[in-house]
Structure formats: structure tokens, C-alpha cells
Amino acid sequence: MISFYRIIKFALQDIGRNLGLSLMTVLILVLMLLSVNLLWSVKIIADKGAELLKNQINFSLYLKSNVTDKQLNDLTSYIKSFPEVTDLTTLKPPAVLSAFEKRNALRPDMLEALKELDENPFGPALVVKTQEPEQYKEILLALNVPEYESIIESKSFEGHESALERLQTITNRVESAGLGLSVFFMLISFLIIFNTIRVAIYTQRVEINIKRLVGANNWFIRGPYMLEALLFTLASLLISGGIIFAAFNKLDPYLNVAFTDGFSLTNYFSSHILYLATIEGGAVLLLTIMSSSLAMQKHLKT
């Protein structure tokens, strides 16, 4: 216990003697963690946005006005037999007419032409949703048979496929930039920690020689520097965690406008805090210990 207490004392003394380098080390580690969490949060938001867009993507089958109930039921049963189909809604002709009028509310010529007709020209319609947006093509291809083509007036894909593609492109670019930034800060952190420990060892070379002369083993000499690595890790985790929570609290009101299901980055972060702290803390601790060990190996020759 006395040796452990002395290791703590020497570690705090080293940090105090090289306070500027120690603060710079923590700052770089914080920036690295912030870039990693930025990358993580962008991915979460992008996945949530993609899920929201996918839920709005569907395709419609507009049937002829003379379709019989049996033909409609047969077609409905056939489409439901596909495992890719997650939802199938049948619209009656009045609902199809109402939807057409809403879509063309800013086109009075279309509405005037519709009023010239004595009756509703539309037949029923089927609105189909699939698990993945690209799966609708398989179902449309399966409907290209005379039995069903004879009762289908038109097929319409309604959704946000282009928006989904743009979102994926933006996400990929942000993730690439975030990954590059994280690697950059990781390299800078390694170099700063390496030089911090090396400077500490160099300034204390006389003390280290005295420790060796009085019988101190390698563990006792290395202990303070390893403890410094642990303290750098804990400090960077606490500071970055506080910044992240504050930033997410400011960002959540804007996300609530886009995601009406109450999605919150703060809640998501809180529910995964142990997992993230373990992964990120372990990675930072490994980085600090590796750089510290290399510095000690170079200057503490046994």
C-alpha cells in the first residue's frame, strides 16, 4: 500500500511538473473522442432518417373501374403471399378520387376536366409497402402476367428513393471525414503522450537513477507513468462526456421536429453509456498505455 501511495504521489507530481503538456494531452484525447462520437451520432441520425424515409416509401396499383370483387380479392391475396410485403391497404374508388384531387389541388385544369365527367373514373387502388424499398421491383415484375395486367390500369411508385440515396451519400461522406479526423487525432494523441512521458522521464532521470540505486524495481519506476495514462483517459472521458451531453441537449429540440416519434440522442446516448464508455475508454487507455510503454522502453533501459 505504501508503494502504491508513492506511485500515486509521483504520478501527480509528474502531471504538475508538466502541466502544460498534460493539459494538451487531455485536450487532444477529448478532441479525438468528440470526433468519434460525432461519427457515431451522425450514423445514428442517418439510420433513423433512412428508417423514416423507408417507412414512407410505397407503390400503388390503380385498378380498372370494372374490376370485380373476386378479381380484387385474388390480387390482394396474391400480393400478400410475398414475404417482402409488410403492409397492404385497399382504397375504394371514392378515396382514390379524393387523393387525386389533393395531389392536383394546384392544377385547376385537371380538376375542371374531372368535373366534366358524370361519374368517378377511378377504380380501387392497392397501396403496398415492402421491407426494403428495392423489393417493390420484384413484386411489380411478378405482376407482369396477363391475369393481373388485364385489371391493372397503372402502377405508381410513391416515395423518397432519391432522398434516401442522397442521405446515404451524405452519410458516407461525413463518416469518411469523421473517420479521417479520428485517425488524425489518434496519431497526434500518440505523439503528444509519447513526448509527455519522455520529457517527464528526462527531467527526472536523476531521481530515477537514485530510485534504482536504493533498490526500486521496474514496476515501481514505471508505475507513475502508467497511472498518468489512466488519469489522462479518465479525464478525457469525463470532459468529452459532459460536452456531448450538453451538445445533444441543444440538438434534441431540432431532432424532435424531424422525428415525431420522440427520438432523442440524449436518451440514446444515456441508454448506451456503459457500452460506449467501455469501448471508447478501452481504446483510449490502450492508446495511452502503448505510447507510454514505448516512451519508457526507450528511456528506461534495464
Top-confidence residue, 283 or 125? 125
Checking if the pLDDT of 261 tops 60, the result is: yes
Q: Are 38 and 178 in contact (CB under 8 A)?
A: yes
Q: Which range among 17-21, 93-97, 163-167 has the greatest average pLDDT?
A: 93-97
Helices 273-299 and 19-56 cross at an angle (nearest 10°) of 150
Top-confidence residue, 237 or 178? 237
- Average of per-residue pLDDT across 253-277: 82
Residue 177's pLDDT band (boundaries 50, 70, 90)?
confident
Give the list of residues 6+ apart from residue 237 with CB closer than 8 angstroms, or none: 33, 277, 280, 281, 284
- Name the CA dihedral angle for 274, 278, 279, 285, rounded to a multiple of 10 degrees: 150
Give the Cα separation of 299 and 302 in Å (integer). 9
Residue 277's pLDDT band (boundaries 50, 70, 90)?
confident
Give the Cα separation of 163 and 53 in Å (integer). 8
From 302, 301, 286, select the one nearest 193 (Cα to Cα).
286
Q: Which CATH number fits domain 58-158: 3.30.70.3040, 3.40.50.300, 3.90.230.10, 2.60.40.1250?
A: 3.30.70.3040
- Annotated domain spans of the chain: 2-52+164-299, 58-158
Q: Are 176 and 276 in contact (CB under 8 A)?
A: no
